[in-house]
Chains A and B, each alone.
Chain A
Amino acid sequence: MGRIRKKFQSGTSSIYISRKKALKKLQLTLKDFRRLCILKGIYPREPLHKKKANKGSTENKIYYHVKDVNFLANEPLINKFREYKIFLRRLTRAKAKGQKDHAERLLENKPQFRLDLLVKERYPTFASALRDMDDALCLLFAFAALPRTKAVKGNVVADCRRLTTEFMHYVIESHSLTKTFVSIKGIYYQAEIMGEKITWIVPHERGIGHVTEVDFNVMATFVDFYVAMISFVNFRLYKALGLFYPPKLSNNVDEKNFVFEENDLDEKIYSLARPIARTQTSEPEPTIDTFSESDTQESLAEKMKIAQALRTLFAKCKFFLNREVSKEAMALIIRSCGGTVSWEGCIAKVYDEKNEKITHHVIDRPLDNVDINRAYVQPQWVFDSFNARKLLPTDKYAPGRTLPPHLSPFVEEKIGEYVPLEKIEQLKEDGKDITHLLKPDEDKKKEVKPKRQKTKPETPESGMSVKTGKVFKENLQKKLNQVGQELKLREMMIPKKHRRVYKKIKYGQKRQASEKKKLESKRQNN
């Protein structure tokens, strides 16, 4: 007889392991296991045949690959987690016993672990790290605006803020911002860095409401990892561009007061108003995507021209932002196109509100005092000009006027898709050929204003009229049928335990009635 092979010992059932079993194997708590999975980039799997994987039952479990779990088992971070647990235990003991100095000493020697190795493991090349920047940036920007809570530590929020500002400085210095779009939940940006298109959302500067479904511990772990990753990415980006890391202001006049004004210096850098110091003076050439095969020499040259033009879009403009305008967003866009910006209460301000050289004053509320030498615009002008790659006429965006709609640059025009009127007009101004975008009836639509309300037709198609009526005749047969149906329904509704009795009674009644009939017919015949 051959060897007996038991079921569920090889194949699918031996590849996947449930979360509970994995916890037992690694001897970790669920919290630590979750943290470890997030930090190491281990994701749960869905097996093809759930029944096979679960050894016969179809319960919904979370499965992990056995090789992943074995990979986790050799992770030195587990020891750090255990050390931390022991540290906490000792700390609570010391505090409870009132041993203050012991507790202080423990806190000084708190076990710290570095995530450098994990970052290197998960992103062996710099390009792979850049590809994951989307997620990381969104999370960091979202966290930078949070208040400090038990799950969200204060230094984490400070780190997020610092790293996001550093990244924004890089984007400004490298002029890599390509698209912006203001939506309801936040502002979308897209930048092209070293050939990778990176898209991220920055929430509007408003208080974050009550969030019910987010697990902050999980997000905090993600943020820990991304903080480590982005600090290295920033370092490399800065080095590539020839900037000092950590960033210093370019014209640092007050070197002597360095020690005392340290906090102020950070704030100055955070404000994005001033350029940061470089080691080289030459700026790099604009990089464009050269991988599409349909590009010819002319289109490439055109793209280069457009990219170069974008860098100096606001070069001759001096902006002043009013108090209610979001400063980070404005500063990012204006400065990445070569302009200068300042606002009231800016720590690193270059010029004052009353400066005569100010060309544009960005204001979002009704106008008070008018200075003739400057153009007053609403903030949408900056976004739209950036997306259009040219300075749009400021009269349409004057404060108090209804603005033209804010279009998304992320939508591409394809033949057949509907293109909004504004874009058509813009393209016409640029002198481009738009016949392929127009549909035959769109010529008529051009004359109509975009925000016309559609009126519904008011006259109904079926008219009201009076006709002679028919006499209502009652159909007896129908009535009887209905009665019969009702009876049947009621018979159906009899509960089961009474149904047998009812049947028997009915049978008895029928028998009696039929007997009666027989007798009567006999009598009649006689």
Chain B
Amino acid sequence: MGKGKKKGWKRVPREADENIHDVNLKRHISNLPDEEMFVIDTTALPLEEEKPAELTFKQKAALKHKLCKSALKDEDVDMKDLEFKTFPRVAFSSETIKTRSNKLDQASTKYDLWEEDNTKPAESTSNDFEAVGIEHYDKVLQRKRRKAPKATRFVPNIIPAVEIPKEGASYNPTLDSYVAYANQIVQEELKMEKAEKKINKNLPAKNVSNVGPGAEFEDFRSLLNRDEEEDASDDENPISTNVSSKTARTKPKTIKQKKLALLRKIQSLQKDKESMSKKQLQEFSNLKKTLRDVRKEEDEHKAKIAARKQQKVLDSLTKRKKLGRGEFKAYEEPVLLTEELTGSLRQLPSRGNILEERFKSLQKRNILPIAGERKKSNRKTTLKVKFVEKRSVKEVTKGSRVL
């Protein structure tokens, strides 16, 4: 491994904030009085006094066998004299057994996260010796409060998280506001319907014709037959069916005509020249105006460029960006039909889902990407059966058919 790569291990940033939670927890625990940390189980209830456990014959015999081996060998031991101590069973109440995590969890959020603690850890200790040590240690280990990199101070969107509701979305709206609101939603619905219609129109028509398979040739043939018929009856019909008839061909021009045409051409060219010179004179006189116009146009153009730039910046902060393949379906604002506008809060039907609205809002504000469906690979998943013709020589006999 290269030297440069090993250096990076030391640079794992150690933040002063890293132990913020543990320090506070320790502080909290050390400050807690004993009563809050521990609970003395005073609710233990002894059960009824139980008789000493009755031994079975087998157990008694085994005991006796053991006792016989011991010092009491010579003496005759009476089973009844032997007392077996039984301890009273105590019931533990389940309330007192608290899991470790419960108490600590509750303790952990009781400190101020944004407390302005400007004192450095070196200054917090009273011991000078310690302070010097901490400072040195911080320097060597490069312990600093790490800032988030510039790229992460990125603002995805400046639209407010909760958009102000429209007047017509009230559960008991005024007539005008309700009509305006309902119209808006109707417009959106119409748009969607139109798009759907367009798609449906361009779909290939399903099998409508109930004509058989040889139909195309029949059509073809009928066309030819028709042409023959038409050609036969062409002379009888006085009105011509030829829509595109050629214009009559002009006779060749005579010399006189050619000369006239030339003259006309020369005249027209001269006229153009004159008008050009006239135009030029006019332009010279209007020079100031034209310059002014040009400058104005330039300014407008620059202003447009600036406006477009500004609009682009604004768009990047307000519009929804396409992050990922998936399609974004906007949240459909809930509407009440006129029958449901009773004006009673109790009879208000449930419409719209806040969770869906929040989810879509997060997508709209460029916080969540819309990944879309997984890509389908074009690889074939089924095996193609390979048709192998196996022929054996022995099969070929007199009279056999080999295809």
Contact = CB atoms under 8 A, between A and B. Distances in A.
A328 interface: no
Contacts of A141: 354
B171 A183 contact: yes
A125 B220 contact: no
Interface size class of B (residues with CB under 8 A): 35 or more
Contacts of A134: 160-162
A70 B177 CA distance: 51
Interface string B351-371: 111111111101000111101
Contacts of A184: 169-171, 334-336, 348, 351-352
A138 B170 contact: no
A149 to B, nearest CB: 12
A480 interface: yes
Given A185-B334, A211-B355, A502 B223 contact: yes
Contacts of A481: 241, 243
B110 A406 contact: no
Interface in B317-357: 321-325, 329, 334-336, 343-346, 348, 350-357
Nearest to A136: B161
Chain A CB count within 10 A is highest, among B17, B161, B243, B335, for B161
A116 B21 contact: yes
Contacts of B323: 44-46, 62-63
A135 B162 contact: yes
Nearest to A498: B220
Interface stretch (B65-73, B224-232, B245-253, B257-265): B224-232
Contacts of B174: 405, 407, 420-422, 450
Contacts of A493: 219
Interface in A489-526: 490-491, 493-495, 498, 502, 505-506, 509-510, 513
A200 interface: yes
A394 interface: no
Interface in B175-189: 175-177
A379 interface: yes
Contacts of A490: 219, 223
B164 interface: yes
A476 interface: yes
B165 A214 contact: no
Contacts of B166: 408
Given A199-B162, A450-B175, A480-B241, A186 B335 contact: no
Interface of A: 19, 41-46, 60-63, 65, 67-68, 70-71, 74, 76, 108, 110, 112, 114, 116-117, 119-121, 123, 125-126, 129, 132, 134-135, 138-139, 141-143, 181-186, 188, 199-201, 203-204, 206-209, 211, 213-215, 218-219, 222, 231-232, 235-236, 239, 245-246, 259, 324-326, 364-365, 378-380, 402-403, 405-408, 410-411, 418, 420-422, 450-451, 476-477, 480-481, 483-484, 487, 490-491, 493-495, 498, 502, 505-506, 509-510, 513
